[in-house]
Amino acid sequence: MIKSTITRVAMVGAAAAALAVSMAAPAQAASDKTISLPNGRGYMKFIDDGDVFQVCDTKADGYGVSGTLFVRNASGLVSVATTVDDGGDAGCDKKGYNIGQLASYQMRVCWNGGGCVSSEWFNE
């Protein structure tokens, strides 16, 4: 009798813990993602196949576009993983950066004349 009561209590506790973990807001799973600046100034894109980050300056206004990839580790520490700049030349600039499941990532694209847009946090 006591053994079955302890087993039931343990099972209820495990189920409650699993529910709490599943209710926490996880980082969004990776797939191709694009964030765009207003007024058609440019964008930053994550290409999941190959883990490539692409930044495109799409307006010839004398200002470039800069992209930053931030990484947040399990303890919450945020740092810059890589940067990509585009402007003053034809085409977009790209950089590979291998993202994984042990951290969360956020893209931020900025028009060098002022103004930025950020993505949600994500991982693979």
* 103 is a domain residue: yes
Tens of pLDDT, residues 53-100: 999 999 989 999 999 999 999 999 999 999 999 987 778 999 999 998
Measured distance CA(103)–CA(69) in Å, rounded: 12
* pTM of the full structure: 0.74
Region class of 28: left (phi > 0), else alpha (psi between -120 and 50), else beta: beta
CATH code, domain carrying 50: 2.60.40
* 38 is a domain residue: yes
Tens of pLDDT, residues 28-55: 565 899 999 999 999 999 999 999 999 9
* 63 is a domain residue: yes
Token code pair at residue 29: 């799973």
* 13 is a domain residue: no
Q: What is the pLDDT confidence band of residue 22, given thresholds at 50, 70 and 90?
A: very low
* 20 is a domain residue: no
* 50 is a domain residue: yes
Residue 95 lies in domain: 26-123
